[in-house]
Chains A and B, each alone.
Chain A
Amino acid sequence: MVLERSESELLAACRRGERDGFRELFELYKDKVYSVALRFSGQPAEAMDIAQETFLKLFSSLADFRGDSRLETWIYRLVVNRCLDHRRRLRRWLPLGDSFRSTLRANGDSLASVLQEERDGYVHAAIDRLSPELRIVVVLRYTEAMSYDQIAEVLGCAPGTVASRLHRAHKILERSLSNLNGGEGV
């Protein structure tokens, strides 16, 4: 889709209820929103739910956007809030064993592929064991490559808090994933 209008023009169009304008806005942010949702939840189906809810919330609340922050920051806040809400409501990840067995059943490819899936599973399971407050910081930092200041603005906290949470997350992940670095096991 070719984007022809500025962000402010798009906002004005959306506020008039123009679906085409909202579609353009969607195209601008769909990958960011879905990426955060998927990396946070670890499950495509849940990520789709989160992304859908985020955009519906965006559409319904555009009139409330006063421009105090950048639109991108505001949209990140929406998806972060949806992620945290979902995690409170829904079940946690499948245990690693089940996940791994599912992978084996579904994937008839090479051993390397299976091992890669297993490695992914270890990492994602370790990330999932982080508290939501730590996990969202990790996702914003690594998936969206945000600075501490940007993360702080999205989460509404101090940059020092972001640094502290990221440090704690790293320590936990280092311990639980040490086997991937040849250390002692998970």
Chain B
Amino acid sequence: MSDWLDLELAHRLTPVKAPEGLWERVARGLPARTHRSRPTAGWMACPVATFATIALVATTFWLPGAGPARLELRSQNPTEIRRWVYDRTGVEVPLAPSANVRLEGARMLRRGDHPAAAITFRAGQRTATLLVARADPRAALPPRRPHATVWQSGDQAYALTGTASGAACQLCHASL
């Protein structure tokens, strides 16, 4: 190899300092909690926004035929998905093995300060996505949406979209 090229590359490809703002960007994507305890701050501040977020995401990004976006975690293991979702959202989804439902994976939805997770699954040839997020248990139940069913259980909000939504109960209640 020519010396001039070696020098040119060494000169042009020198290491650089990371920008100051990088940590802020990384920190925004980290789970809200810092330990294994369930998160208590943040989500309580704006329950309406949490519901609005999950309903909006459900009705705009999971329109019929649009299909789920790229999964960050591909797994059929309920325990792995459960832990992955909990680590990122603080939401405990009691996924259980089911003969009728096959899990495909999960991804994070980051809309402002309200992290939600999308769990994709199949029942036969049909696919559906369950969105989960923390919510204030005192919040009013949101209205039914045209392409999604949105509901709340305790301090967790759920939205369900897709053609296999009828099988969603079996994600957590395999005996149904």
Contact = CB atoms under 8 A, between A and B. Distances in A.
Given A17-B36, A56-B30, A143 B13 contact: yes
A124 B14 CA distance: 12
Interface string B74-91: 000000000010011000
Interface stretch (B3-11, B46-54, B117-125): B3-11
B15 A143 contact: yes
Contacts, number: 92
Contacts of A32: 15
Interface residues of B, number: 31
Contact of B17 (A16, A31, A174, A181): A31
Ranked nearest first, the 8 interchain pairs of A and B with the lowest CB-CB distance are: A34-B18, A142-B13, A30-B18, A35-B15, A170-B1, A55-B26, A123-B12, A52-B25
18 contacts: A17-B36, A23-B23, A31-B17, A34-B17, A35-B15, A38-B16, A52-B25, A56-B26, A56-B30, A120-B12, A123-B9, A127-B13, A142-B10, A142-B13, A170-B5, A174-B1, A177-B8, A181-B2
Interface of A: 16-19, 22-23, 26, 30-35, 38-39, 44, 48, 51-52, 55-56, 59-60, 120, 123-124, 127, 138-139, 142-144, 167, 170, 173-174, 177, 180-181
